[in-house]
Amino acid sequence: MRLRVLFLLVLFPLFAVCAPLPIPDQGPALRIQGSNTIGAALGPALVKGLMEHQGLQAAHSEPAEGANEQRVIGKTRQGKTVTIEVAAHGSSTGFTALKKLTADLAASSRPIKDSELVDLEPLGDLKSPEAEQVIAIDGLAIILHPQNPLNSLNTEQLAQIFNGEISTWEALGGVGGPIHLYARDDQSGTYDTFKELVLRLRGTPLASGAKRFESSEQLSDAVSQDPQGIGFIGLPYVRRVKAVAIVDGDSQPMLPLNSLIATEDYPLSRRLFFYLPPSSRNPWAKALVDFSQSSKGQAIVAANGFIAQQVQAMAVEPRASMPGDYQAIAREAQRLTVNFRFEEGSASLDNKARQDLQRVVAYLKSHNKLDKQVTLVGFGDAKNDPQRAALLSKLRAMAVRRELVKNGVVLRDIRGFGAQMPVATNAADEGRIKNRRVEVWVY
């Protein structure tokens, strides 16, 4: 798919983080633990942005005692030091630290697990909209040495490669002999995401011979120096390697392009989270979450190589494989970089969709698109009944319509395309959930 992105940005409202935050007499103002993907650079950059927004001076990061640990330090105008600690040892360590009360905020590059949710019940419901905050979208890139001639792989092949079933490049139609596997370590949310999206769905473990890394940068650099190497990595760490297009089920081959990751159509897209316990009394934790969702915070997200959640309009080139009515919409309208998705087994919008609703309304208001300038396009999963899929796809679009109408939007049209144009395999629950989506098109 060739998408031409038109950078029609709408700035988020800046949340009320201007009131001076209290400065602790001793110890850090905030302790963040969890994802290396977030904690290596994005988390410290957001902290630095918050400090500067608070009027602190000379905000900077410096290494802490352990590997993958940093302190972000700033000074008040009165010369008092403010310190925020960031430890980036993997998503699971963030939830463990919340339980032990050694962190105020967990950074995670995967959704909280049911077992963790139960474990942390004493801190409140970490799946509530206030607690579970999507701060950015990332894509897992499958990376090869720049001279590797392969251009695309499907998720089935990926599972077979990383469990060792496919062990030579010749078996994939390439050249180069044995395949060398590179993977993140067991504590990593990047590894958890790859396991969920690729390995677990096919009941396969990671091959024991894979080289494991705690650092995303080191993994990427290792693949860039190994003509027989293949690895998986977060989008900002592609650096000097080659990313291949990915196919999931009957989807089109998709490169990890910003536009496809923003809509979460790309098969290996994922959400990056802050988890703020409802029981938290740390004002710096709440302020950082709010700052991360603001226009300034999302600009920092983009500057660090992740996909910001600012709404953009993009032109989509019609393809022969698209339904005729969908091609007609694509010729006349532009698609917003938002897909509304739903809670598992429910017609209720998920936490990100609730936030996206306000972003879309703000975009429509700022571009004078409130009156009959919007068409909602719903999709479903195949299962056994195409007619049921067509009906449910339209009902999902109507669920989004109800919320938009509450905010003064008058719709032009609502369309349901059933199980057509899947973006993920329908052979697994996770793929079917991705296929149940609602697109927003503006005229």
- Residue 315 Cα to chain centre, angstroms: 22
Q: Is the pLDDT of residue 12 over 70?
A: no
What does the alpha-carbon distance between residue 404 and residue 345 come to, in Å, rounded to a whole number?
22
pLDDT tens track for 239-272: 999 999 999 988 999 999 989 999 999 999 999 9
Q: Are 120 and 277 in contact (CB under 8 A)?
A: yes
Residue of higher predicted confidence among 20 and 246: 246
Q: What pLDDT does 354 receive? A: 92
What confidence score (pLDDT) does residue 388 get?
Answer: 79
Three-class SS state of 353: helix
Q: How far apart are CA 341 and CA 439, in angstroms?
A: 9
Average pLDDT over residues 363-392: 89
With beta carbons less than 8 A apart as the criterion, state whether 257 and 273 touch.
no
At residue 209 the predicted structure's pLDDT band, cuts being 50, 70 and 90, is very high
The 10s digit of each residue's pLDDT in 85-110 is 999 999 999 999 999 999 999 999 99
Helices (H), 144-282: 155-162, 189-194, 216-224, 258-262
What gap in Å lies between CA 431 and CA 156, rounded to an integer?
13
Q: Which of 58, 53, 59, 56 is nearest to 14 (CA)?
A: 53
Eight-state DSSP code of residue 178 = B
Residue listed under structure tokens 């349901």:
416
What is residue 299's predicted lDDT score, i.e. its pLDDT? Answer: 96
Give residue for tokens 């019940």. Answer: 121
Percent of the chain exceeding pLDDT 70 equals: 95
Query: Residue 345 has what pLDDT?
Result: 61
pLDDT tens sequence across 50-75: 999 999 999 999 999 999 999 999 99
Q: Are strands 413-416 and 313-316 parallel, antiparallel or unpaired?
A: unpaired
pLDDT averaged over every residue in the chain: 92
Does 302 score more than 60 pLDDT?
A: yes
In the prediction, which pLDDT does 384 show?
A: 65
Neighbours of 168 (CB within 10 A): 13
pLDDT in tens, 394-428: 999 999 999 999 999 999 999 999 999 999 888 87
pLDDT exceeds cutoff 70 at 18: no
Q: Which of the 8 DSSP states describes residue 172?
A: G
Which two structure tokens, joined as six digits, stand for 204?
Answer: 């396969």
Amino acid 213: pLDDT: 96
CA–centroid distance for 357 within its chain = 17
Convert the pLDDT of each residue in 102-157 to its tens digit.
999 999 999 999 999 999 999 999 999 999 999 999 999 999 999 999 999 999 99
Query: What pTM, to 2 d.p., does this model score?
Result: 0.83
User: What percent of the chain is modeled with pLDDT above 90?
Assistant: 79
pLDDT above 70 for 6: no
Q: Which of 377, 368, 381 is nearest to 432 (CA)?
A: 381
Q: How confident is the model at residue 1, as a pLDDT? A: 40
For the segment 80-86, the average pLDDT, to the nearest whole number, is: 98
Confidence at residue 346, expressed as pLDDT on a 0 to 100 scale = 67
Q: What is the pLDDT of residues 33-48, one digit of tens each?
A: 999 989 999 999 999 9
The Cα 377–Cα 354 span in angstroms is 18
Domains of the chain as residue ranges with CATH: 11-135+271-303 (3.40.190.10), 138-259 (3.40.190.10), 311-442 (3.30.1330.60)
